[in-house]
Structure 1
Amino acid sequence: MVVELDESTGIAVLKMKNPPVNTLSLELLTEFSISLEKLENDRGCRGLILTSAATKIFSAGLDINEMCGKSMEHYAEFWRALQEMWLKLYNSSMVTIAAINGTSPAGGCLMAMSCDFRIMAENPKYSIGLNETQLGIVAPFWFKDTMVNTIGNRATERSLQLGLLYSAPEAYKIGLVDQLVPEENIQSAAATVATQWLTIPDHARQITKSMMRKPTVDRLLTHRESDIQNFVSFITKDSIQKSLRMYIEMLK
């Protein structure tokens, strides 16, 4: 993670830097949560722009290598780190803007949806969505809840069952992203939106955000351990491990 805080505006830029495609490894997830917590505790920071240090890719999602050929303890640790990242980002008191400067499937899409506002590069070659079913895996309930809160129930059901990846224009049309801008303008556009949101008194905005998001957050907090157990029991199945190994070979 690369963190840059502009003290004059109170807006931090958090760039994912895990070449080549910003996969969400255990290390990145852990570092992300630590970075976010530090910014939350910094009174000089009121806004966050989340983006990628890479070109053409925001984040390729969960690191498949973390889910294949490892111990049950490792799987549990990895999943807990993913939960922690989402809880901190989705529940952040800061204004959070996703500057999606490339393709963003699966876990990358989750990160973007967890922000308050999403700006995507206006490039039809870039896509975003929760495509888990295409890999033979199932998006967890809190992924689903986050998407329902973003685009509604019917669009989410269709998206999840078919594992759809939407092009940037399609994502804008269904409300998965809020704004499309030319790629070279994405950072300045994100800064402009963050500044607009920060004109609202912090306490009023934060209480409203918490009111809207608390039921979704509380649902994971209530079922956190069972969610970890479900993931571990699912990912350790021979059939799932086999399909993940095949997918890794295909990627190579």
Structure 2
Amino acid sequence: MYEHIVWERTENVVVITLDRPRVLNALNRALKRELADALTKIKGDESIRAVVITGAGDQAFSAGQDLTEAKDMTGPEAEEWVREFELLYDQVRMLDVPVIAAVNGWAMGAGCQLALLADIRISSENARYGMPEIRDGIPAVFGLELLWNTIGMSRGLYLVLSGDSLDARQAQDAGLTIKVVQRRELLTEAMALARTMAQFAPIAMKQNKQYARRRTESDFRACARFCESAHHASFAAGDAKRGMEAFLTKQR
């Protein structure tokens, strides 16, 4: 059905696996389109009662945006890039069923943002969360907004401004993840929780999710609009291009 994600359904729970392990499940446009399509199908199927999102392999949930696609963007193209992410993130936010991120390694940049958009995060012992975009000359506006709602402004600013990251235990202490388990137990734990929540009354679940969206909606939209202008400025100035080229050169 898909090339860059794997869709598996067990009774009323769907597991979506980001499936680009050779590049640490980096989010390119093709993967984002497939993920958005899968989430749209879930939204339209009332028999699906919970979702688990994870990454293929043992190294990463997702290393973030695929920089090979982004490094040559102009300012206007960077704005469109932000709008693409906003549309994808909306697909996660608009689900009326619980979404669990089973974070199996590195969750960086847009990968961390995807995990933060989930309602609940369960982490493997090697999980690590961060917003390293500043090192590439890219503002992490979406990241800061989502961190603010999860672990507070002070800790969020530290991660965004320093490019530092939290290991699994630090993330648990900060309230970013609810549980840390061994890698081999991660999906089992996530599925057990998903099955439990899938048994609950769907109308009550829907109302809880809708209220959470209502509380964050205006700030999320304001963040998206600011993110467009921030990315335009960074890409137009050449900061982002220089930062990403330096990073990609180190990876060769």
Change in 2 beyond 3 A, CA 1:226/1:145: closer
What is the number of equivalent residue pairs in this alignment?
Answer: 247
Structure 2 residue 160 is matched with structure 1 residue 157: no
- Residue deviations 1:45-81 (CA, integer Å, cap 9, x gap): 1110000122211100011122212355543433222
State the partner residue of 1:175: 175
Output the aligned Cα RMSD: 1.9
State the partner residue of 1:136: 137
Displacement, 1:128?
Answer: 1.2
Larger mean Cα displacement after TM superposition, 219-228 or 180-189: 219-228
State the partner residue of 1:15: 17
Change in 2 beyond 3 A, CA 1:243/1:227: closer
Equivalents in 2 of 1:205, 1:244: separation in Å?
A: 41
The structure 2 residue matched to 1:62, chosen from 62, 65, 69, is 65
State the partner residue of 1:85: 88
SS at match of 1:12: strand
Q: Which amino acid aligns with 1:137?
A: I
Equivalents in 2 of 1:156, 1:225: separation in Å?
A: 20
Question: In the TM superposition, what are the counterparts of 1:210-229 in structure 2 within 5 Å?
Answer: 210-221=210-221, 224-225=224-225, 227-229=227-229
Q: Which amino acid aligns with 2:208?
A: T
Equivalents in 2 of 1:150, 1:70: separation in Å?
A: 30
Q: Which amino acid aligns with 2:73?
A: K
Displacement, 1:157?
Answer: 2.4
Displacement, 1:222?
Answer: 5.3
Structure 2, gaps ≥5 residues long: none
Q: TM-score, normalised by structure 2?
A: 0.89
Equivalents in 2 of 1:166, 1:229: separation in Å?
A: 28
Structure 1, gaps ≥5 residues long: none
State the partner residue of 2:9: 5
Aligned-pair identity (%): 23
Question: In the TM superposition, what are the counterparts of 1:38-117 in structure 2 within 5 Å?
Answer: 38-72=41-75, 74-117=77-120
Check the 8 A contact 1:97/1:119 in 2, yes or no.
yes
State the partner residue of 1:203: 203
Check the 8 A contact 2:65/2:109 in 1, yes or no.
yes
SS at match of 1:120: strand
- Residue deviations 1:183-224 (CA, integer Å, cap 9, x gap): 101111001111222333222222122212324233333564
Check the 8 A contact 2:136/2:242 in 1, yes or no.
no
Check the 8 A contact 1:37/1:88 in 2, yes or no.
yes
